[in-house]
Structure 1
Amino acid sequence: MTTEASQNSRRQPRGPVQARSQKRIDAALAAAEKLLVELGPDKTSIPEIAARADVPRTTIYQYFPDKYALFAHMAESQYGRIADAIGVATAGAQDADWRELVRIVVDAVADFYNTNEVAAILLLMGPFGSADSAAHARKDKGLADLFRARLGLDAPADTPDRINLAIQIAFACLRWGYLQDGFLSPAIRAEAVRATTAYIAPFVTGKSQTDHSSGGEKS
């Protein structure tokens, strides 16, 4: 047998093996979602997930060293869905005032949470552990970049990033409402909009005035 044939023979089983592993991980993630809703994050465990999904614990541990790494992976997935929801909500709002845009985004996120209990648990009750904290930080930055682009603002040259902090303020309001009531009410949405717009108004207004002034000098 040639070296190439030998290598090919060793590679052949990888497809089915990887497909089986992926199927098991998908089952574990689905079980984890159900357990998060039924038991909450504290009582959800890898052994419980493995038993519910009927997969070996070792398969799960191969990809996720602990439940917090699994939660972080799930949180990343939910963030992507939130970004999609925001994109859909703002698609027809090209000419909206920035304050109205804040309201549209907050409503889109709140609607998503109210219809997706797993996302609410992962992103409003978390983070859980250091890996999950990193996932939340990426979520805040991703949403800030998305919102900044929609406002036509440049990336900040210095820290802290005011838009990123505004995103965190909005999420803090939503988190408080969820922990208090178990859902995001119109009142807590309004508070999130108020707090967010109050925080970024000087920055956005100041930029608008500067741009207008610059345009006047060029005309």
Structure 2
Amino acid sequence: MNTPSIVTSEARAPQQLRGKARFEKILAEAELVLLAKGISGFSIPELAERLGYTRTSIYHFFPTPYAVLNELSRRYLVKLEERVEEAAQQLGQLTWQQMVFRITEVVADFHNSNPAGRMLILGAMASDESSRALELTIEHLGRQVEVLMASANVVLPASNPNARALTVELGTACLRLSYHFHGVITPEYQRESARAMISYLNNFASPEALTLP
């Protein structure tokens, strides 16, 4: 990316229909540039050239390249939250260990199905804004973990450390390593993600065998 340092910035959402259409077209093309060049190779000049737009017309919505990547990151994080919430509602009468394992399958599948989102979430975050979005997502996913555990009569402590956020971070760390080593989430690392979370959560559960599907 052709900037000397990370500049925090947010997208300027358009109000008019014509502006909204251009906004979405810029994001769609930006995702293609991201997949082709990676985060370090992403630039607004190339984006403008590919779209046939002036740079100014892109800067109108996205003051910096990070504003584009931040918006893409935010959207993928929202989609990830929605996917996990949807899956959590379909877990039925599984044990809490099976629930955790199933959720890691869902998250791994999401990342493997969304290469741009995988790059932004598990690779290098674009700026402070996207990092804050990730923190919020961790908190939201942590609440899902808390609800799932409560449904199995396992209560997570409310005091520090934040057990639900730690659970999500432990699982995500395994997925991040898989991305960096292999470019995707492998079944082996997805399984280790589940094992890491289950091992930690087992500290708050009644003594029982730690088993995976």
TM-score band by shorter chain is 0.7 to 0.9
Aligned to 1:93: 91
Aligned to 1:212: none
Aligned to 2:4: none
Deviation at 1:177, TM superposition (A): 0.5
Residue 136 of structure 2: which of 135, 138, 154 is its match? 138
Aligned to 2:211: none
CA 1:179 to 1:88, structure 2 compared with 1: closer, same or farther past 3 Å? same
Structure 1 vs Structure 2: percent identity of aligned residues? 28
Q: Are residues 1:165 and 2:166 paired?
A: yes
Structure number with the higher helix fraction is 1
- Structure 2, gaps ≥5 residues long: 1-13, 208-213
Quick one: distance in 2 between partners of 1:69 and 1:204? 43
After superposition, the C-alpha distances for 1:135-161 in whole angstroms (9 at most, x for unaligned) are 111111111112222322778643331
Deviation at 1:62, TM superposition (A): 3.0
Quick one: distance in 1 between partners of 2:66 and 2:155? 35
Aligned to 2:19: 21
Deviation at 1:17, TM superposition (A): 7.4
CA 1:62 to 1:151, structure 2 compared with 1: closer, same or farther past 3 Å? farther
Q: CA RMSD in A?
A: 2.3
TM-score of the pair, normalised by structure 1:
0.79
Higher RCO by CA contacts (8 Å cutoff, separation 6 or greater): 2
- Structure 1, gaps ≥5 residues long: 1-15, 207-219
Quick one: distance in 1 between partners of 2:32 and 2:23? 14
Higher radius of gyration, 1 or 2:
1
Say if 1:68 and 1:131, in contact at 8 Å, map to a contact too.
no
TM-score of the pair, normalised by structure 2:
0.81
Number of equivalenced pairs: 192
Quick one: distance in 2 between partners of 1:138 and 1:64? 22
Quick one: distance in 1 between partners of 2:205 and 2:57? 49
SS across alignment from 2:40: coil
Runs of 4+ in 1 over 6 A off after TM superposition: none
